[in-house]
Each structure stands twice: as structure tokens, then as C-alpha cells.
Amino acid sequence: MRAFWRRHPRVVDSLAALFCGMWVFDDGLGLRLPQPVDVRWALVTLVLAAMMFVRRSRPWWVLVATVAGGALMTQHFIGAALGCALYALAAYRSTGAAALGAAAALGALVPLAGSSDAAIAYVMIAFGTVITGANVRIRRRYLEALVDRTVQLAREKEREGELAAVRERTRIAHDLHDIVAHSLTVMVRLADGAAAVATADPERARSASEQVARLGRDAMTDMRRLLGVLRDGPADEQDLDALVTTFRNAGLPVTVRVQGPEPASPSLRNAVFRTVQEALTNALRYAERPERVLVDLDHRADPILVEVTDDGRGAGPAQSVGSQQGLKALRERLSLYGGSVEAGPRPGQGWAVKVTLPRSGEDGR
């Protein structure tokens, strides 16, 4: 029910306006069938009902109009409008603002109440709506903070991986310098020496040539190893189970389905990991109350298929909080492996991210 009301705020506003408008037929505390109505009271009631559509953005205005209407029509009860105004203050401003508004409203309306029952009703309505609105606001902010914290942790993990990659590449740069500065220099000297003694001492020339060949083979092996690390990146950052657990702890109902063994290539595993991370982050941020988020990994086919779907009603990043830069970066990253990304709303509801990764990048192929 909360999800429905959150997705349809205008329906809630219409019901609040209808509830307030019904009191046009009120006489004291009793609601009766249509009868000759006080025209001034009808106008006041209709104005208060119309203001229910701005109670989220202008709760103080609604409260001031409510108190003014109650002071103008002292013989009538305006508890419905008062409750909506104070609830809006507590839910969309702060508890302090709602308490201040309640005290001011009660100070103006209770002395003008036509009976003790009306005065008690005003107090009970003010107290109940302020408590309810404050609870709703606190819960909403808690959920927003939880989502923001989870996204921040995911980004921090991404930055930590990037820093680790920078450190690894710095170490590799030193190793490459050693290969170039040491191995190649020695090879050149041995080759020069072999050429110099080739006629006078063929045995020494042959031995020097063998050493050049051996050093060349060793240098090529080291170069392949270092370039492989540069291409694949550090493998210890890829923990898909831990990633899924993080999003589950944040309240995202993630289900993982894996078919076939993982690819042997660390680069492809890293690409799969980054795809799932980006898709789950988007689902956590933008999907509205999803009941299932499915991560489908099919390693049997060529190309590898990665699909992440949710059944939330969101149709993508809101214009105020996102511009799909994450998906653009994902496309750029996967293009290095010849992969493709398809992202968009699913028929009916939800969002889907589908990635294909050719196995041409598999080690040894």
C-alpha cells in the first residue's frame, strides 16, 4: 500500500481534498446528509480542499489558510484540514516545524471551539497527525540514507580497485624498465662480443649467441606475463558473491542464476563483475519497490550472456539524479572486449540490462 501511495501522489491529494470537501455539510461535530448549506462555509471548505494539492510544497500556507478558515467560521469544525496540514508539516518539513505549527493552530482554534468536545478533538488530531507525519518522514529519510550509503560503498569499492590497479601498474612499469634496461642491454653487448670474436674464437661466439637467445626467450616470457596482467587487471577484486550480498543487505531482492563454468580469462570475469555491479547499482537507485531482481549469467554460450532484470516500475534514472553515465562507461569498457550492452524498460514494468561478451578474449584463444 505504501508503494502504491508513493507512486500515485495525486491520488492521495485527491482523496485528501475529497475528505476535506465532505465537511461542507458539517454542523458542529456531526456529519449529515445534504441540506441548506452556509455559502461562506462552503467557499471556505472548497478553498481548503483545493489547497490539499499544494500541501507538500506549501504546508505552511495550508495551515495558515486552515486556521484562518476556522477563525472565520467558528461554528464549524475544520479538523480534517487541520490534520492534513499538520501531517504535511511533519512529513515534509521537520518535527520542530510541525510542533510549532500545532501549538500555534491550537492556540488559535481551541479558544474558538464551540464545545469542549471540539477542543479535545482538535488536540487529539494535532497530536496524532504530527506523530504520524514525523514517523513517515524519519522512515523515508532512513531508506534514502541506506540507498545512498550502499551506492557510496559500491563506488568506494570501485575506487579502491582502481587505486590497486594503479599501484600494480606502477610495479609493472618498474619490471618493464628492468627488462628493457637490463636484458636488452646485455643481449646487445653479447651480440657485439659474438660478432667481434666470431672469426678468432668461434666457440666463444657460439656460446655468446646461445646466451643471447636464452636471455631473449626469458625477456619474452616476462613481457607476456606483465602484459597479461596489464590486460586482465588484479583478479582479487572480483568477488561477485560479496557484491550480491552487499545489495541484499541493502534490501534489494537479488537472485543469481549461473549456467556453465566461469570463463578462464580474468579479463572476462572482470567484465562480468563490472556489468553486474553497474546493473545492481541502477536497480537499487531507480527501481520502485522491486519484488525480484534476477542476475542471469550464461557462460555456456559464445558469446557469454549477462542479463540483469528487475520488476520495479522505474523507467530509468530520474532526470534530477542521473544521466546514465554509468551505462555509457560500461559500454566503453565492454567495447574493449568486443561486447555490446542493451539497456531499457521491460514490457509492462521494470528495467533490463543485457550484455554479450565474445569469447575471443578468452586466454589462449
Task: Report pLDDT for 318.
Answer: 42
Q: What is the pLDDT at residue 153?
A: 86
How would DSSP label each residue in 239-276?
A: -HHHHHHHHHHTT--EEEEEESPPPS-HHHHHHHHHHH
Torsion of CA 45, 51, 56, 58, to 10 degrees: -110
Q: How many domains does the chain have?
A: 3
Q: Are residues 349 and 246 in the same domain?
A: yes
**Structure confidence at residue 236 (pLDDT):** 46
Domain shared by 176 and 223, yes or no:
yes
Answer yes or no: are the C-beta atoms of 362 and 304 closer than 8 Å: no
**In terms of domains, do 244 and 214 share one?**
no
pLDDT value of residue 25: 53
Task: Write the CATH number for 186.
Answer: 1.20.5
34: pLDDT confidence band, cut at 50, 70 and 90?
Answer: very low
Mean pLDDT of 172-177: 61
Q: Domain check: are 177 and 288 in the same one? A: no
Whether residues 169 and 139 fall in one domain = no
Distance of alpha carbon 210 from alpha carbon 206, whole angstroms: 6
Q: Distance between CA atoms of 275 and 271, rounded to whole angstroms?
A: 6
141 lies in the same domain as 6: yes
Question: pLDDT tens digits for 119-158?
Answer: 888 889 888 888 988 888 888 888 888 888 888 888 888 8
**Residue 16, domain extent:** 2-145
At 257 the pLDDT is 92
Structural domain ending residue among the three candidates 200, 235, 270: 235
Write out pLDDT tens, residues 87-102: 888 888 888 888 888 8
Grid cell, residue 127, equals 497530536
Q: Please tell me the predicted confidence (pLDDT) of residue 38.
A: 67
Asked if 265 and 298 sit in the same domain, the reply is yes
Same domain, 15 and 131: yes
Q: By CB neighbour count within 10 A (0-12 exposed, 13-18 middle, 19+ buried), where does 234 fall?
A: middle
pLDDT band, very low/low/confident/very high, at 325 (cuts 50, 70, 90)? low
* Percent over 70 (pLDDT), the chain: 75
CATH code at 250? Answer: 3.30.565.10
* Residue where a domain stops, chosen among 145, 180, 210: 145
Cα gap 267→358, rounded to integer Å: 12
Contact 191, 208 (CB under 8 A): yes
Highest mean pLDDT of the ranges 27-36, 70-79, 177-186: 70-79
Asked whether the predicted pLDDT for residue 306 surpasses 90, the reply is yes
Mean pLDDT for all residues in the chain: 76
* Strands across the sheet containing 351-357: 254-259, 293-298, 304-310, 351-357, 340-345
**Residue 259 bridge partners (DSSP):** 298
Q: Which residue has the higher pLDDT, 199 or 13?
A: 199
- CA 178 from chain center: how many Å? 45
Residues belonging to the chain:
365
Q: Say whether both 28 and 64 belong to one domain.
A: yes
Domain limit, last residue, from 214, 235, 256: 235
- Residue 55 DSSP symbol: T
| Residues in a beta bridge with 307 | 296, 354
Q: How confident is the model over 201-255, as pLDDT tens digits?
A: 888 888 878 877 877 776 777 676 666 655 555 444 467 887 787 777 667 888 9
| Same domain, yes or no: 202 and 245 | no
3-class DSSP assignment, residue 98: helix
**pTM score:** 0.41
* pLDDT computed for residue 29 by the predictor: 41
pLDDT score for 4: 63
Q: Are residues 139 and 17 in the same domain?
A: yes
Q: What is the number of alpha carbons within 13 Å of residue 140 lying toward its C-beta? A: 14
Q: Could you give the maximum distance between any two Cα atoms of the chain, in Å? A: 130
Q: What is the pLDDT of residue 235?
A: 44
How does residue 3 score in pLDDT terms, banded at 50, 70 and 90? low
User: Dihedral sign, CA of 320, 151, 348, 8?
Assistant: negative
Residue 164 has pLDDT above 80, yes or no: no
Shared domain check, 356 and 249 = yes
pLDDT, tens only, 335-344: 777 888 898 8
pLDDT tier, 326 (very low <50, low <70, confident <90, very high otherwise)? low
Is the pLDDT assigned to residue 365 strictly greater than 60?
A: no
Look at residue 32 in the predicted model and tell me its pLDDT.
47
